[in-house]
Amino acid sequence: IYLCGDGDRWIKRGLEFLPKSVFVLDLFHLDKYLVAALGKDKGAYGEIWAALRRGDRVGVEKVLKGAARKAETPGRRKAVRDCRR
């Protein structure tokens, strides 16, 4: 069973009640977190979606680490941290 949602605690608590269930972040919220973390960097945005489609966790982490290095404001750094969780 897949529990799909925005990642809020109350949704993830459903994992406690449904044995063998797995949490999956819904695509709307995934995209929202990616846009907040990557801003207008279209290259990084395309690269991270390609990595996600391949199931390449290392590639995703590489893009997010690059975004963290490039983050110029506290808000953008927080967005990258939030996206990585």
Tens of pLDDT, residues 48-60: 999 999 999 999 9
Q: What is the value of pTM for the model shown?
A: 0.84
Domain that includes residue 17, residue range: 2-84
Q: How far is CA 64 from CA 3, 9, 13, 16, 32, in A?
A: 25, 23, 27, 30, 14
Work out the burial of residue 28: count CB atoms within 10 Å of its CB; fewer than 13 is exposed, 13-18 middle, 19 or more buried. exposed
Residue 8 has pLDDT above 90, yes or no: no
Q: Report the number of distinct structural domains present in the chain.
A: 1
Mean local confidence (pLDDT), 29-54? 96
Mean local confidence (pLDDT), 55-74? 96
Where residue 19 falls among pLDDT bands split at 50, 70, 90? confident
pLDDT of residue 61: 97
Sorted by sequence, the CB contacts under 8 Å of residue 6 that are 6+ apart come out as: 25, 26, 29
Instruction: Give 45-77 as a DSSP string.
Output: HHHHHHHHHHT-HHHHHHHHHHHHHH--SHHHH
pLDDT of residue 79: 97
